[in-house]
Structure 1
């Protein structure tokens, strides 16, 4: 009996010791001094960036963190155009990455999944324009904005100079510029680059140009879009212009097979003039052709009497999954990314402004353009304000269908109406 009691006591002590070791290995200590394999942590990070230079910069920052905290490793994921669907599945399974990019939806789609970052060191430095985007009235901070979006059209300045083209102010002027480039280059230069294999590049046109069509003019449809009374026939001019660009041969001929990863090479070789996107791909193009001249222009107006605009908001962000088992470490990593020297690197490599008031990045070739257009109006991305969550998928699929002629511009407008009503009813 005494022998059995002794064995039982020994087993209890052993279980207590093992429990203690397990607890110390998962206590959120990122000091790197916990010792042993039980203290090792691997955090998953999902981001929307597709550009190699930006990805490498972000990885270098996590490498620096690991150098200070050897027990913390990172698993980066760059799902590209699959990002949104993957995150939706992860939300449904309540199995989110430790750190993830909220891509403009921190307060609407991801609000129940993100931890509050209000106590982080970078928060007091949020720019006035960024505060309402990543914070709420109760003071919750949803994500760290790694940079800011002030997006228009990126263009090959050398091509515009060669063919004597001034920066277009209206969409009709932009299309006319495309026709001039195609004609005078004998078809050697493609005016507009799009990729159906990465349908986000198609949807980006609609998301950007919807504001000039429906919101930025003095007489606009903003309130109707918000209160549900909008007549979706008024959307039709946007897909109609998109189809016109395609029918006139102003898009790359391989639009259905090209990949966005092809764009830097084409820009570097002077084979593409315009891209409806931020200049985040330009560092890759400059690595191929250091002599490349690139410009940034606002989005051209559509409504008579209106003026050009930019689409804005956060570009890339970092949010922490509030139920992550390594939440404390994830938040510490985000705080590390929020150091001024790290945010400056990200702004510079992506060629975009900082979201912080205390950081002035050297934007090199872009500086003159952001200075030139400093007084141009900036509107939030259209889908983040006026469309329900889930419409990005619709924007992507209908864009491709318009080009393949399985859907007319008029039919796409009615499909938008149907899907907006369906998604809104689901989200009540």
Structure 2
């Protein structure tokens, strides 16, 4: 009997000890530390710089560890799986879909100090009419057409502001370089390269010209997709005239920086850190960033903007307090500046001035409107993949421009019904 009592008492003591450990450890190992899981869409060049910011945070907050993940092209697939299982990371990047895709999974950040400094352009993208703030904007996307400044000047080309001038510029590069310089380079082994081009050009074609504004029809589902033909016809013309790299379907996006640094590329629809990374390889090459050229007379070229890198907090996280501490930390002016500069983009907050790589171009084209990404406003979730894949099909010859538009229309209709 005594042995039985001793065993029971021993088990109770162990149970109390284990219970105490589990309560104090959060998601840690019983040491009192909390581990926050963070997922970001930052690329392989930017992630190491962001990790240094994370290390600074961990140094100042020794009881909080950040488990940072940068899955690249697999990000969206991974997050969809996590949403389906309702097992989201404590901190995650909404990459353009703060409200439409991730809204039901995000905690409200409206009580945080940095909110008062949020750029006005970001407010309709990251807040709703009830005042909820869905994510913290680490920077503000501003995408367009990259070009080799010295090369264009060498060939006597004025940076194009219309699509007609853009095509003429490509033809001039091909002629004056004797085919040694690729006029337009596309790393199309990944469908996202084609998706990005269609997305940037669709806005000036279909939205921003008052006589060719189909925004209402795109939003209510009545859009005639034959209007989309012109984008594919333009890309087909560029391909047929040899104004794009022959390996556009197999080239990898990671090749672009090296090729631009070697003076082998004139234009590319690549933004962000592409410019500074190129100049880091060859200081004699300076990359400019133009707004997407206009399709119609009297139409201004446009930059495409919105969310680039954000941090949202999972509404069901057990560590919302610690997650918000991390956001508080990176919203300090010192880190706002660092993060904006690592991505060569404007900051999402207005209390910091950043002189980044493309500042001269942003100032030169300051009268060009900044418009939201076409797919994020006008297309149902899932259409990004369709845009990219149909672009690959166009370049491979598997589809004509009309067939591309038909597939876009069919998928648009199907996905609208599916998402309702």
TM-score (ref. length: structure 2) = 0.95
1:315 alignment counterpart: 308
C-alpha distance in 1, partners of 2:30/2:3?
Answer: 35
C-alpha distance in 2, partners of 1:149/1:367?
Answer: 13
Matched, 1:167 2:186: no
* CA shift digits 1:224-255 (9 cap, x unpaired): 11111111111110111111111212222221
Matched, 1:98 2:104: no
Secondary structure of the residue that 2:317 maps to in structure 1?
A: coil
Query: Do the aligned partners of 2:173 and 2:181 also contact (CA within 8 Å) in 1?
Result: yes
Deviation at 1:66, TM superposition (A): 1.6
1:86 alignment counterpart: 78
C-alpha distance in 2, partners of 1:163/1:75?
Answer: 49
Matched, 1:61 2:21: no
1:203 alignment counterpart: 195
Matched, 1:425 2:386: no
Query: Do the aligned partners of 1:51 and 1:284 also contact (CA within 8 Å) in 2?
Result: no
C-alpha distance in 1, partners of 2:334/2:341?
Answer: 11
Matched, 1:21 2:21: yes
Query: Do the aligned partners of 2:260 and 2:278 also contact (CA within 8 Å) in 1?
Result: yes
- Single out whichever of 294-303 and 211-220 deviates more from structure 2: 294-303
C-alpha distance in 1, partners of 2:178/2:414?
Answer: 47
With over 3 angstroms needed to count, the CA separation of the structure-2 counterparts of 1:37 and 1:286, relative to structure 1, is farther
1:366 alignment counterpart: 358
C-alpha distance in 2, partners of 1:245/1:84?
Answer: 31
Matched, 1:248 2:241: yes
Matched, 1:46 2:39: yes
* CA shift digits 1:335-371 (9 cap, x unpaired): 22222211111111222111111011121x4222111
C-alpha distance in 2, partners of 1:130/1:22?
Answer: 40
C-alpha distance in 1, partners of 2:99/2:294?
Answer: 29
C-alpha distance in 2, partners of 1:195/1:68?
Answer: 41
2:290 alignment counterpart: 297
- Structure 1 outlier segments of 4+, above 6 Å: none
Matched, 1:180 2:193: no
* CA shift digits 1:291-331 (9 cap, x unpaired): 22221211111123322111111211111222234433223
Query: Do the aligned partners of 1:81 and 1:200 also contact (CA within 8 Å) in 2?
Result: no
Unaligned runs of 5+ in 2: none
Pairing partner for 1:260 from 253, 270, 281: 253
Secondary structure of the residue that 1:73 maps to in structure 2?
A: strand
Secondary structure of the residue that 2:325 maps to in structure 1?
A: helix
Secondary structure of the residue that 1:400 maps to in structure 2?
A: helix
Secondary structure of the residue that 1:44 maps to in structure 2?
A: strand
The count of aligned residue pairs is 419
C-alpha distance in 2, partners of 1:378/1:104?
Answer: 15
Deviation at 1:105, TM superposition (A): 0.4
Query: Do the aligned partners of 1:283 and 1:349 also contact (CA within 8 Å) in 2?
Result: no
1:145 alignment counterpart: 137
Query: Do the aligned partners of 1:157 and 1:294 also contact (CA within 8 Å) in 2?
Result: yes
Deviation at 1:223, TM superposition (A): 0.9
Matched, 1:221 2:214: yes
Secondary structure of the residue that 2:103 maps to in structure 1?
A: coil
C-alpha distance in 2, partners of 1:272/1:100?
Answer: 35
2:406 alignment counterpart: 414
Query: Do the aligned partners of 1:195 and 1:256 also contact (CA within 8 Å) in 2?
Result: yes
- Single out whichever of 394-403 and 372-381 deviates more from structure 2: 372-381
* CA shift digits 1:102-130 (9 cap, x unpaired): 11101000111112222223111101111
TM-score (ref. length: structure 1) = 0.93
- Single out whichever of 73-82 and 183-192 deviates more from structure 2: 73-82
- Single out whichever of 90-99 and 418-427 deviates more from structure 2: 90-99
C-alpha distance in 1, partners of 2:44/2:31?
Answer: 35
Query: Do the aligned partners of 1:81 and 1:199 also contact (CA within 8 Å) in 2?
Result: no
C-alpha distance in 1, partners of 2:59/2:293?
Answer: 46
2:332 alignment counterpart: 339
Secondary structure of the residue that 1:149 maps to in structure 2?
A: strand
1:390 alignment counterpart: 382
